């Protein structure tokens, strides 16, 4: 009890001492000695694809297949004050960040070829009184390769005033191209299970078709956050089928030519599952007069140990860009 009274007495006296000191000198806040008015960092390009525990943030950016594209990099002043004078910021490519990210996160991103990107300048100025500046990265999406996941490591190299952020002074950007049918779709149709016949397809669905190559897309269920097809059980709950996710392959005329399994062929996964196109289906992509996809009609199967287990007949109506 004596200790508590003693500490309370000190606590009551200290505010009086500090109050008199603060009249002459700030001890905390933007005007305190040693405080940093300007911290310079990369701004978010969207929601980070990396986990919160990653020491390097990763962003995923996809571009329409075209001769040119631009990724606007944001350089931000996030300290206690807006830029008190013009702040020159220089960035650089540092692909050692990709290797570090891969090691930390058990990923396999490859370095984006320098032949498909360029900077008009690697220096940008955050103007006095402002918080942000944009530095464009010029791209050639029609020359992107689809054989691997490519990325670019970027670092803030120098700033004319302030300090470089320890957390967001580096980043890795996964950069790829979208093919012709990449997008978000509303899906209607029917699906059945030939083994557990009480399981039925759950529609309508909100599905992203993600570029998997120049002429293929990977199925992703936006509602449930999985690469897989969701069914409704007899009890009314949702269920997913392991080792199964469709990849749709199409040709230049818009014909769906095959359906593959993202988990490999029957011999490559533990449940012997594979994809197969139903040749009786419409199996085509319909494009509008503007050349953009309107809908996709496709019928397909999931086979298990060579026999048809799941049957699908679906219509994908284009909703928006992914």
Per-domain residue ranges of the chain: 39-177, 183-320
Mean confidence (pLDDT) of the chain? 89
Q: The pTM is what?
A: 0.67
Q: What pLDDT is recorded for position 146?
A: 85
Determine the Cα angle at 256 with ends 62 and 266, to 5°.
90
pLDDT at 26 over 60: no
DSSP 244-282: --EEEEE-TTSBEEEEEETT--GGGSTT-EEEEE-TTS-
Q: What pLDDT is recorded for position 32?
A: 43
Q: What's the full length of the chain, in residues?
A: 322
Determine the Cα angle at 100 with ends 94 and 103, to 5°.
155
**Is the torsion defined by CA of 195, 199, 202, 207 positive or negative?**
negative
Q: What pLDDT is recorded for position 198?
A: 98
Contact present, 58 and 49 (Cβ < 8 Å): yes
pLDDT at 17 over 90: no
Asked if 39-177 and 183-320 have one fold, the answer is no
Distance, in Å, from the CA atom of 310 to the CA atom of 193, rounded to the nearest integer, reads 5
Homologous superfamily (CATH) of 39-177 is hypothetical protein (bacova_03559) (2.60.40.1740)
pLDDT at 25 over 80: no
How far lies 112's CA from each of 14, 116, 157, 159, 172, in Å? 59, 8, 20, 26, 11
Cα R_g (the chain), whole angstroms: 27
Neighbours of 300 (CB within 10 A): 24
CATH number of 183-320: 2.40.128.120
Please state, for a pLDDT cut of 70, what percent of the chain lies above it: 89
């Amino acid at each position: 009890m004596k200790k508590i009274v003693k500490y309370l007495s000190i606590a009551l006296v200290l505010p009086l001492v500090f109050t008199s000191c603060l009249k002459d000198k700030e001890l905390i806040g933007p005007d305190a000695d040693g405080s940093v008015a300007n911290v310079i960092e990369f701004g978010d390009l969207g929601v980070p694809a990396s986990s919160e525990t990653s020491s390097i943030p990763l962003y995923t950016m996809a571009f329409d297949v075209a001769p040119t594209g631009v990724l606007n990099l944001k350089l931000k002043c996030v300290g206690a004050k807006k830029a008190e004078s013009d702040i020159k910021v220089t960035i650089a490519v540092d692909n050692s960040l990709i290797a570090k990210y891969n090691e930390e996160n058990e990923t396999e991103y490859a370095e984006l070829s320098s032949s498909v990107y360029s900077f008009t300048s690697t220096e940008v100025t955050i103007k006095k009184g402002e918080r942000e500046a944009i530095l464009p990265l010029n791209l050639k999406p029609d020359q992107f390769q689809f054989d691997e996941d490519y990325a670019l490591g970027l670092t803030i190299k120098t700033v004319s005033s302030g300090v470089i952020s320890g957390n967001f002074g580096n980043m890795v950007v996964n950069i790829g191209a979208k093919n012709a049918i990449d997008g978000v779709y509303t899906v209607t149709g029917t699906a059945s299970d030939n083994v557990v016949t009480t399981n039925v397809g759950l529609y309508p669905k909100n599905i992203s078709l993600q570029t998997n190559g120049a002429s293929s897309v990977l199925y992703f269920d936006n509602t449930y956050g999985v690469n897989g097809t969701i069914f409704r059980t007899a009890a009314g709950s949702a269920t997913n089928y392991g080792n199964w996710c469709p990849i749709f392959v199409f040709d230049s005329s818009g014909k769906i030519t095959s359906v593959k399994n993202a988990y490999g062929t029957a011999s490559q996964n533990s449940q012997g599952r594979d994809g197969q196109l139903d040749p009786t289906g419409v199996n085509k992509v319909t494009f509008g007069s503007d050349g953009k996809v309107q809908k996709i009609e496709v019928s397909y199967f999931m086979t298990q140990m060579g026999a048809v287990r799941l049957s699908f007949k679906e219509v994908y109506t284009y909703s928006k860009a992914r």
